[in-house]
């Protein structure tokens, strides 16, 4: 029997991240359940374990450098490698403002979690991912990060003019490609996942899809075979336009 994969999912205590952890756990992976609140992380890991999943809570506030370093040190100490990193933690801070009405501070705070923290977590974990025989990094993006989709005035995405959120996910797509290009020629694949519009706390449970459905694309990218793609952007249905 092959050794269980070690997977870390950020923001895995609820919503799509929880379902990604669950989906990866069901493939036999040991899932490190990243959560900024230790109690919420432990509760989520307990729930996963009750389903027979190998789940371990890891306290991780992705915007806190000390917390990120401590999480990387824990993975190093207990597992010495990381096979799968899913950067899922994200925020949507604007509510109904037009783009021109979004305060710059909201933009900064959104980028702090959705972009800068992804870079910080990836950099902290990368030495461990490089030690995997088949490292996979998945950044949970959004169709709202697609310039092709949001610039179509007749498409459904133009109805969501979320300046900070959409720009952060476009930037995350660029970050995804940058890491994928750096890691070309190594076994590590880096891709962005679009969960689709799912009912979660992030959007006041307004989406038509479930969080479980939203997890499908990320789980697939996290478990890509060696001849799978890198530097791509995928929903459950296939490639998404940038």
Annotated catalytic sites, by residue? 165, 169
# of chain residues touching ligand NAP (CB under 6 A): 30
CB of 201: closest distance to ligand NAP in angstroms? 4
Within 10 angstroms of residue 241's Cβ, the number of other Cβ atoms is: 10
Q: C-beta of 2: minimal distance to ligand NAP in Å? A: 29
CA–CA distances in Å: residue 86 to residues 17, 22, 34, 152, 176: 8, 13, 10, 29, 12
DSSP H helical segments within the chain, as ranges?
A: 15-26, 38-50, 65-79, 104-111, 117-130, 147-150, 163-183, 211-222
Tokens of 207: 């989406």
- State which of positions 107-126 bind ligand NAP (CB under 6 A): 113
Q: Which tokens go with 175?
A: 């970050």
From candidates 6, 8, 9, 13, binder to ligand NAP by CB under 6 A: 13
Strand partners, 54: 30
Give the helix/strand (H/E) hosting 9: strand 6-9
Please report, as residue ranges, which positions from 190 to 229 form the binding site for ligand NAP (by CB under 6 A). Answer: 195, 197-198, 200-203, 207, 211
| Contact positions with ligand NAP (CB under 6 A) in 23-62 | 36-37, 40, 60-62
For ligand NAP, the closer CB: 30 or 235: 235
Q: Cα 35 to chain center, whole Å? A: 13
Closer of 133 and 148 to ligand NAP (Cβ): 148
Nearest approach, Cβ of residue 195 and ligand NAP (Å): 5
Binding site for ligand NAP (CB under 6 A): 10-11, 13-17, 36-37, 40, 60-63, 88-91, 113, 140, 142, 195, 197-198, 200-203, 207, 211
């Amino acid at each position: 029997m092959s050794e269980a994969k070690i997977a870390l999912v950020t923001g895995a205590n609820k919503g799509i991240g929880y379902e990604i952890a669950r989906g990866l756990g069901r493939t036999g992976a040991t899932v490190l359940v990243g959560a900024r609140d230790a109690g919420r992380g432990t509760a989520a890991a307990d729930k996963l374990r009750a389903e027979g999943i190998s789940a371990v809570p890891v306290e991780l506030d992705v915007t806190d450098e000390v917390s990120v370093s401590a999480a990387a040190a824990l993975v190093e100490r207990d597992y010495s490698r990381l096979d799968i990193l899913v950067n899922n933690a994200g925020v949507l801070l604007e509510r109904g403002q037009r783009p021109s009405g979004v305060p710059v501070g909201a933009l900064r705070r959104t980028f702090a979690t959705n972009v800068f923290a992804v870079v910080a977590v990836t950099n902290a974990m990368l030495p461990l991912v490089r030690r995997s025989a088949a490292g996979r990094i998945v950044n949970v993006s959004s169709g709202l990060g697609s310039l092709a989709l949001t610039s179509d005035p007749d498409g459904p995405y133009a109805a969501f003019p979320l300046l900070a959120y959409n720009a952060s996910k476009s930037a995350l797509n660029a970050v995804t490609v940058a890491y994928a290009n750096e890691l070309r020629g190594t076994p590590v694949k880096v891709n962005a996942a679009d969960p689709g519009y799912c009912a979660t706390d992030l959007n006041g449970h307004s989406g038509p899809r479930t969080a479980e459905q939203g997890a499908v694309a990320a789980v697939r990218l996290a478990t890509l075979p060696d001849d799978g793609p890198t530097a791509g952007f995928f929903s459950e249905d296939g490639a998404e336009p940038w």
